[in-house]
Structure 1
């Protein structure tokens, strides 16, 4: 994000300059021998340390796990200094043209779609290609950094876009107007992060760079409300969090098989999801191991379950890198933007509502190659499959496995301008059905950061 005002740097420079003069003033202060002067110096030194910390690490607020090569997160900037607070504004305009097989180009220009929607397109009898244009992934964000809040820096971050679901308010008839949608909203202080942001269960530093953001079969990509504590440990850092529990069944239609006396089996859960992740970062790459513990409640039963995930970003030749992630367990809505359910609803109906957590696994591998400083490509392959036998009805019914392949060419002539073209191929297997179904998509994208 660009610098909006140099006031922050100028003010900081004055304070830091004052700090630099402290050693030369020390003999004079010592000669005066006044305790009140010593107290003032100690207080000034404490304030200078806080200001130096801001200069080094918090010139502006930024999204967690932000990486220079991740186009979907806010970049660092200086912002505008107001009192003890630096305020920053940023985001990007993203325009996409999507050509999809099997009838893509759905209501409200939700053409960017979701993997579970791609599976429905692949199963359909439609065989024509449809076109959709959209700018709904455009994003804006506000950040603040306030120094000396109980001897630490307090940061806040608010991020919104317009990529709501197809049934949300909006149209593509005349105005193409859409409501803003909350993506992230959190505050951070002394290692604590409270609010809504990306789940601790996934390290975004290992997210493959594709134009159709996060839409791979097996990658963990979820934002939700949480309380997280981050601490330094040998070799890296440890992140621990309590996160919003949800089995997601209320988001979809499963006809009458989910109903007991007209009510759904699941909704919000009684105990938060418990997540921990250990990161190791160095010149040799980024490596993470993460664990998830969940309790899923039905109207008549509950069960503890969980999942694990390993991820890495490994540098290779020049600026090239390999990105990997493998996950296993009761992943449900955490993986692939909810390709599999959190519980096997049909099996539970047969037992009168006993909870039966649904296990699945997913693996993603990507290689990013820089042709030049401005041109790069990513080839990403992601595969997920059901470990348990899937149920055969409902919106997600019968999906046994899904595989996605993305290949792109991206051009960044300036840090604030990115253009790209991407081809995606999906293959879906349905339980107890011969053969598989395919979906294809080509995407042109232009992104302008501010």
Structure 2
């Protein structure tokens, strides 16, 4: 019992005793009716005041949150104070992620993927060698760089939901080597705050549909046909509609020369608009992208405009099957499609820019054999309309891949998976190369 409530009850009991004894005391001291009535009125007033005080204390206690359950005997709380004194009152904190071991055996027909490159860690179509010598041997790579953790803080302010979210993995630059430490830097994936219908920070592009991605052992899976970008943005969502202004960047194939240029000369953010429909059968979404393509040198400043559209979704075929798909096309779509498989623009002889047309797609079928075993089969492809008079013959013309996997969950939150991958890349000169890979993983979600 609350100490204040106990004290108030004692005072009330004492007042009642006095009230009952008052007539006798009054008769012993002053037998006049007027004096007795005055004393009784005073005591009644005192009793009413104490009763009001007790009811107020009861109401205050009822409004307080329930006390936490007592800890088991012999245990101590982790800490005596709140986890974050500076947070908004009532903030709820959560933490999660997964630990993942990836192991890949890779064989390529036209040369070896460079050691330490991203293509040795996951399927990256642009890394498939073309025109090289077949080494007639396979490479084995193992790593845990895609292990991930996230932290979230959620509360309500003035009746509006507020969320802070940060997520990282270990896919950063190498700080050690494979000879001894295999040390890698921390990489920020997401870092944003949302309030009601607004979001500000870094997360998936509003042009991307993460919910349509298949259940893959590989980091992405159908990479060629996937819109895949995380970047800083300001987003507004109202019902099924969302619009965003996102960080711009332009990639350019230089005029008949050298490596691709990555330009940070944009002065206008990329703009997206999305419509999303959800139902029991799955979801469907269509998104549009409009962007400025720009590249400056010491003597020139050239720009063009890019537009693209993406349609994607998931269709539940029953309790154990679903189809997932994505189709995207447009001009200046290169940076958003297939991890930058193609450029955004081509540079002409006078330095001006010509937006590059391209398209990509994937389709995936998922089947659950039982609660512990599931499998996925998916195909992905992309193609670009390069003008070889501007780009030369060394740029990617097309790429495609076929994937088949089985994922077994012997225990809750533990996945053991195997995926067979066949990929092909062709450049504008007509040369092509293919990749064959067996990708295994062990993944524990927490």
Q: TM-score, normalised by structure 1?
A: 0.73
Cα distance change of structure 1 residues 109 and 197 upon mapping to structure 2, 3 Å threshold? closer
Q: Distance in 2 between matches of 1:146 and 1:123?
A: 56
Cα pair 1:99 1:129 within 8 Å, conserved: yes
Cα pair 1:81 1:87 within 8 Å, conserved: no
- 1:219 counterpart residue number: 226
Shift of 1:393: 6.3
Tell me whether 1:257 sits opposite 2:253 in the alignment: no
- For each residue in 1:146-165, what CA deviation from the matched residue of structure 2 results, as whole angstroms up to 9, or x when unmatched? 22x23312101100011135
Q: Using the TM superposition, name which of 440-449 and 117-126 deviates more.
A: 117-126
Shift of 1:391: 7.0
Cα distance change of structure 1 residues 256 and 267 upon mapping to structure 2, 3 Å threshold? farther
Tell me whether 1:323 sits opposite 2:324 in the alignment: yes
- 1:243 counterpart residue number: 246
- 2:376 counterpart residue number: 378
Tell me whether 1:151 sits opposite 2:159 in the alignment: yes
Structure 1 residues 394-433: aligned runs within 5 Å: 397-433=394-430
Please list every run of at least 4 consecutive aligned residues from structure 1 whose deviation after the TM superposition is greater than 6 angstroms.
Answer: 391-394
Cα pair 1:101 1:439 within 8 Å, conserved: yes
Q: Distance in 2 between matches of 1:277 and 1:264?
A: 29
- 1:344 counterpart residue number: 346
Cα pair 1:118 1:439 within 8 Å, conserved: no
Q: Distance in 2 between matches of 1:97 and 1:222?
A: 25
- 1:209 counterpart residue number: 215
Candidates 162, 168, 171, aligned match of 1:160: 168
Q: Distance in 1 between matches of 2:404 and 2:207?
A: 26
- 2:274 counterpart residue number: 277
- 1:12 counterpart residue number: none
Root-mean-square deviation (CA), in Å? 3.0
Q: Distance in 1 between matches of 2:262 and 2:118?
A: 32
Shift of 1:176: 1.0
Cα pair 1:341 1:358 within 8 Å, conserved: yes
- 2:9 counterpart residue number: none
Q: Structure 2: where are the runs of 5+ without partners?
A: 1-55, 66-82
Shift of 1:283: 0.7
Q: Distance in 2 between matches of 1:431 and 1:425?
A: 21
Structure 1 residues 121-136: aligned runs within 5 Å: 123-136=132-145
- 1:335 counterpart residue number: 337
Equivalent position SS for 1:205: helix
Cα pair 2:273 2:288 within 8 Å, conserved: yes
Equivalent position SS for 1:269: coil
Cα pair 1:111 1:134 within 8 Å, conserved: no
Cα distance change of structure 1 residues 403 and 116 upon mapping to structure 2, 3 Å threshold? closer
- 1:231 counterpart residue number: 238
In the alignment of these two chains, the number of paired residues is 360
Shift of 1:416: 1.6
Q: Distance in 2 between matches of 1:374 and 1:113?
A: 25
Structure 1 residues 165-184: aligned runs within 5 Å: 168-184=174-190
Tell me whether 1:188 sits opposite 2:189 in the alignment: no
Q: Distance in 2 between matches of 1:391 and 1:403?
A: 24
- 1:363 counterpart residue number: 361
- 2:441 counterpart residue number: 445
- For each residue in 1:222-274, what CA deviation from the matched residue of structure 2 results, as whole angstroms up to 9, or x when unmatched? 11111111111xxxx1111001100145xx9x799369xxx968324110000
Cα pair 1:326 1:364 within 8 Å, conserved: yes
Equivalent position SS for 2:335: helix
Shift of 1:209: 1.3
Shift of 1:115: 2.1
Q: Structure 1: where are the runs of 5+ without partners?
A: 1-36, 49-79
Q: TM-score, normalised by structure 2?
A: 0.74
Cα pair 1:302 1:354 within 8 Å, conserved: yes
Shift of 1:114: 5.0
Cα pair 2:404 2:419 within 8 Å, conserved: yes
Candidates 99, 102, 121, aligned match of 1:93: 99
Cα pair 1:161 1:182 within 8 Å, conserved: yes
- For each residue in 1:101-127, what CA deviation from the matched residue of structure 2 results, as whole angstroms up to 9, or x when unmatched? 133472278622452453226755433
